[in-house]
């Protein structure tokens, strides 16, 4: 499908933004340079008639993104969590994309459930409501089990959603190829690999059996986490296009007025949502990678309830340790050590100046200390970080794009609850706890123990393996090319996390 028709798709994207009036709104909200605004209007205006009309009742940006399809809606969901980048007004408009999209008829949902589970709906559920939430990929119905009377949530994929996503992804591949061709400097960001990674994530999200498995694993990892709960999946009523799980009542994390009316402390909730994410990423290496407000609720008890486990992220143990050491270095303002860790891990090419890199890190980190979030310009920090990435030859690590994007979203959620949150102070206890347990003498002894067990198991074979390897190696292997990625910065809050979404989403 990756053919010339994708040119039409991309032209229609620009035309839709122009026709809906969104192009001016978005560029103005993001404080785009005058040249970019002029170029967008000049290129979009002649093709305005090709643009999709969308729902005239919606605000311009929301109207354009919903008309363009699910992949664009995903991008809008990310921006909705970043009022510091797109402005309060546009962010509020885009929150519509989280769980208030037009639903498909309940009769269609019932038919899909019956076909997927091979049973009439009334034999499984004594009650089956109209849609209670509708997002870009699926919608949710409230139901009650016939046999136990338990209230459950039934998630059903949108009809034809896989085909719709594939059309968008095909156009993204074409755009990435054009970018690589016209701008050789962009190749360090690996736009094709970014889209390939996005395709894998999305295709996995379209199989609800995988989401059920993710929910079960995440629930097991977090069952002892105070102030956090995950509804358990019901396996015998779940399949590729249908997922059934326990119902959990709560107030939407996006509704501050309702949270206040329920008597919850938003400052506490903002800190908790960020700390929980860091804890899951560092402690477990397995985290919820789509933590926008539409997937989070606050229970009457004050617990944070997480939903929608279609996108989950993993970090290997080595990356977690490097990530934690860099975070810890920034918390202590030890920029030299932060720079050293980057070089030791191979994230910065060895021919770069470590002192110069440390100075660049200081420029990013220092403005954040001692300031509340409302006084930090994310747009300016993002602009500076682009300069840093270019200067030090940073390359995108596609396997960690989810962490980049999720840190952007989580920080946005925390800010929505508490605009004055200090990311450094909130992150410190989680990072220090991880460092104490996993970096240092205790961790070294534990690693040595693991190494000895492996050697003991393969000990009898080691001499032969070494001899065989020496015989085969007739010439030295080329040294692996060191790669640098911006993702390690994502836990720093503010501008650090903003870079991740720019690299992960704009390409």
Those residues whose C-beta lies under 8 Å from the C-beta of residue 78, and which sit 6 or more positions away, are: 292, 405, 408, 409, 501, 505
Q: How many CB atoms lie within 10 A of CB 234?
A: 18
Those residues whose C-beta lies under 8 Å from the C-beta of residue 469, and which sit 6 or more positions away, are: none
Q: Is 225 a catalytic residue?
A: no
Catalytic residue from among 99, 170, 225, 290: 290
Give CA angle at 194 (192, 198), nearest 5°: 115
Please give the C-alpha separations between residue 503 and each of 184, 314, 339, 493, in angstroms, as whole numbers.
16, 19, 21, 16
H/E stretch holding 216: helix 208-222
Give CA angle at 151 (149, 156), nearest 5°: 120
Minimal CA–CA distance to 348: which of 170, 207, 488, 195? Answer: 488
Those residues whose C-beta lies under 8 Å from the C-beta of residue 66, and which sit 6 or more positions away, are: 54, 55, 58, 73, 97, 101, 102
Q: Give the separation between CA 30 and CA 487, rounded to whole angstroms.
A: 22
With beta carbons less than 8 A apart as the criterion, state whether 256 and 417 touch.
yes
Q: Give the separation between CA 305 and CA 319, rounded to whole angstroms.
A: 28
3-state helix, strand, coil in the chain (%, to 5): 65, 10, 25
Minimal CA–CA distance to 406: which of 50, 8, 43, 81? Answer: 81
**Cα-Cα-Cα-Cα dihedral of 172, 176, 179, 182, to 10°?**
-110
Widest distance between CA atoms in the chain? 74
Q: Give the separation between CA 385 and CA 76, rounded to whole angstroms.
A: 22
**Pairing label, strands 286-288, 296-298:** unpaired
Minimal CA–CA distance to 117: which of 87, 81, 89, 143? Answer: 143
**Cα-Cα-Cα-Cα dihedral of 283, 82, 493, 302, to 10°?**
-50
Those residues whose C-beta lies under 8 Å from the C-beta of residue 384, and which sit 6 or more positions away, are: 363, 364, 495
Q: Give the separation between CA 141 and CA 122, rounded to whole angstroms.
A: 14
**Cα-Cα-Cα-Cα dihedral of 340, 342, 348, 349, to 10°?**
50
Q: Which residues are part of the catalytic machinery? A: 290
């Amino acid at each position: 499908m990756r053919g010339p028709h994708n040119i039409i798709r991309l032209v229609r994207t620009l035309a839709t933004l122009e026709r809906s009036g969104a192009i001016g709104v978005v560029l103005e909200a993001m404080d785009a340079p005058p040249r970019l605004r002029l170029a967008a209007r000049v290129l979009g205006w002649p093709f305005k008639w090709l643009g999709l009309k969308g729902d005239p009742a919606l605000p311009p940006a929301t109207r354009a993104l919903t008309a363009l399809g699910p992949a664009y809606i995903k991008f809008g969901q990310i921006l909705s969590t970043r009022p510091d980048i797109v402005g309060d007004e546009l962010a509020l408009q885009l929150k519509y994309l989280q769980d208030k999209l037009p639903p498909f008829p309940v009769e269609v949902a019932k038919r899909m459930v019956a076909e997927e589970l091979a049973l009439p709906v009334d034999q499984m559920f004594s009650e089956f409501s109209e849609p209670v939430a509708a997002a870009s990929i699926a919608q949710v119905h409230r139901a009650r089990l016939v046999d136990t009377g338990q209230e459950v949530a039934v998630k059903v994929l949108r009809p034809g959603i896989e085909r719709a996503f594939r059309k968008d992804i095909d156009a993204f591949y074409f755009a990435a190829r054009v970018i690589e061709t016209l701008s050789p400097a962009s190749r360090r960001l690996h736009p094709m690999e970014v889209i390939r990674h996005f395709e894998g994530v999305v295709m996995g999200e379209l199989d609800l059996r995988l989401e059920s498995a993710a929910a079960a694993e995440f629930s097991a990892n977090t069952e002892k986490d105070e102030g956090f709960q995950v509804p358990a999946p019901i396996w015998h009523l779940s399949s590729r296009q249908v997922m059934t799980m326990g119902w959990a009542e709560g107030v939407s994390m996006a509704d501050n007025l309702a949270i206040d009316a329920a008597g919850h402390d938003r400052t506490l909730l903002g800190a908790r949502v960020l700390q929980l994410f860091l804890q899951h990423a560092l402690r477990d290496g397995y985290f919820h990678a789509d933590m926008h407000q539409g997937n989070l609720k606050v229970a009457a008890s004050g617990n944070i309830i997480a939903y929608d486990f279609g996108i989950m992220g993993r970090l290997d143990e080595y990356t977690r340790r490097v990530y934690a050491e860099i975070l810890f270095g920034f918390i202590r303002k030890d920029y030299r050590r932060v720079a050293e860790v980057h070089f030791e891990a191979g994230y910065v090419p060895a021919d770069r100046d470590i002192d110069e890199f440390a100075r660049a890190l200081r420029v990013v980190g220092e403005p954040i200390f001692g300031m509340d979030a409302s006084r930090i310009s994310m747009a300016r920090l993002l602009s500076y970080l682009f300069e840093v990435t270019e200067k030090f030859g940073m390359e995108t690590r596609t396997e960690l794009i989810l962490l980049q994007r999720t840190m952007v979203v989580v920080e946005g959620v925390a800010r929505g609850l508490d605009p004055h949150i200090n990311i450094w102070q909130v992150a410190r206890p989680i990072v220090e706890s991880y460092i104490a347990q996993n970096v240092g003498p205790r961790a070294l002894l534990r690693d040595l123990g693991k190494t000895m067990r492996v050697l003991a198991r393969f000990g009898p074979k080691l001499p032969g393996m070494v001899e065989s390897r020496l015989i085969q190696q007739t010439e030295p292997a080329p040294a692996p090319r060191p790669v640098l990625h911006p993702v390690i910065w994502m836990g720093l809050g503010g501008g650090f996390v903003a870079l991740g979404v720019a690299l992960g989403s704009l390409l």
